[in-house]
Amino acid sequence: MRVLVVEDDDNLRFAVAAALRADGLAVDEVADLPAADEALFITGYDCAVFDRMLPSGDSLDYVQDLRLTGRTVPVLFLTARDQVEDRVAGFAAGGDDYLVKPFALPELTARVRSLCRRAGTVRPPVHRLADLEIDTARRQVRRGGVLLILTRKEFAVLEILAARADHAVPRAELIEKCWDEMAEPNSNVVDVLMSQLRRKLGDPPLIHTVRGVGYRLTSDGAGC
């Protein structure tokens, strides 16, 4: 899942982005509304985190305009304004959540992940394929009843493949959803992670390469 963080305070933006990345999310960072507008035009995000007051303007007004254009990306506002009327205004402008500073980073990551889930289609809490079980709520993976230890990035990729089981998922889509803008599209980051993931999942193999396209999670041996 990919998140945009819009915050002009460098230290806070770094801390928020680091916390979200540590939770397995891909994060892009910008410091003002023009840069946010460009990022949202180019990339499909699962959630956007906006500081309420930016040097380039009130992000509440920007999000309100964003909603008028039909853009539905979930938005969480960060703000020092803690009055009831401020929170009400945030929701009225099209915000989906509102977190008052100072806040705990674990709470922020939990709220962002909840909004990311809301952005996509409703997914079953547990995916099953052959003897593989992926519990998206507990973020646990078992094969043949044995608990597997995956990194957050490995789990994020496997979750996407499981949601599209038996269908090829393009490499570009995996990069867009699981890596941030620092990832080079032509690099081998996906291939390296897939190699690690296949090794952890064991035999018979469930992840298959679809040449010229990407990868497919299936138990029928299709692919190359």
- The more confidently predicted of residues 9 and 219 is 9
Q: Classify 132 as helix, strand or coil.
A: strand
Report how far residue 214's alpha carbon sits from residue 89's, in angstroms, rounded to the nearest whole number.
44
Has residue 224 been placed in a domain?
no
Whether residue 182 has pLDDT greater than 80: no
Look-up: residue for tokens 């394929």?
129
Has residue 166 been placed in a domain?
yes
Whether residue 172 has pLDDT greater than 70: yes
Give yes or no: residues 51 and 8 share one domain.
yes
- The more confidently predicted of residues 209 and 68 is 209
User: Can you give the pLDDT at residue 116?
Assistant: 85
User: Can you give the pLDDT at residue 49?
Assistant: 96
Give how far Cα 94 sits from Cα of 61, 73, 116, 224, Å: 10, 10, 16, 46
Among the candidates 69, 88, 119, a domain finishes at 119
Which residue segment(s) compose the domain that 200 sits in? 126-217
Look-up: residue for tokens 């899942």?
1
Read off the CATH number of the domain in which 185 is found: 1.10.10.10
∠ at Cα 36 (30, 37), nearest 5°? 160
Read off the CATH number of the domain in which 33 is found: 3.40.50.2300
Kindly report the backbone phi and psi dihedral angles of residue 146, in degrees, each rounded to the nearest multiple of 5, phi listed first.
Answer: -95, 130
Q: Which residues, listed in sequence order, are joined to residue 75 by a DSSP beta bridge?
A: 48
Q: What is the mean pLDDT of the chain?
A: 86
Q: Which residues, listed in sequence order, are joined to residue 97 by a DSSP beta bridge?
A: 76
Among the candidates 119, 154, 182, a domain finishes at 119
Give yes or no: residues 110 and 179 share one domain.
no
User: Can you give the pLDDT at residue 121?
Assistant: 45
Neighbouring CB atoms inside 10 A of 111's CB total: 19
User: Can you give the pLDDT at residue 146?
Assistant: 93
Among the candidates 119, 134, 150, a domain finishes at 119
Give yes or no: residues 9 and 111 share one domain.
yes
Predicted model pTM: 0.62
Q: Classify 175 as helix, strand or coil.
A: helix
Kindly report the backbone phi and psi dihedral angles of residue 200, in degrees, each rounded to the nearest multiple of 5, phi listed first.
Answer: -70, -35
User: Can you give the pLDDT at residue 120?
Assistant: 54
Give how far Cα 91 sits from Cα of 60, 71, 98, 160, Å: 9, 15, 8, 30
Which of the 8 DSSP states describes residue 150?
Answer: -
pLDDT digits (tens, 9 = 90+) for 118-152: 755 445 578 888 899 998 777 889 999 999 999 88
Kindly report the backbone phi and psi dihedral angles of residue 43, in degrees, each rounded to the nearest multiple of 5, phi listed first.
Answer: -120, 140
Sort strands 53-54 and 57-58 into parallel, antiparallel or unpaired: antiparallel
